Structure 1
Amino acid sequence: MSISALTPPFTVETATAKVRAGEDLWNTRDPERVALGYTPDSRWRNRSTFVHGRDQIVDFLTDKWASERDYRLIKELWAYSDNRIAVRFAYEYRDAQGHWFRAYGNENWEFDTNGLMRTRHASINDLTIKDTERLFRWDSAGVRPDGHPGLSELGL
Structure 2
Amino acid sequence: MKKIIYALVLLIGLIICLSGCSSPSDKGILNGYISKDEHFDKDGFQDYTDYCKYYYDASSDLFLENDIYSTVKEDDIENIRSYFTNFASWMDTADRAEEYDFDDSCISEGDYIYIKTKEGEAIGSSNYKKFDNYYVYFYDTQSATLFYIHSNI
TM-score over 0.5 for the pair: no
Q: How does the TM-score come out when normalised to structure 2?
A: 0.27
Structure label with greater radius of gyration: 2
More strand per residue: 1 or 2?
1
Q: How does the TM-score come out when normalised to structure 1?
A: 0.27
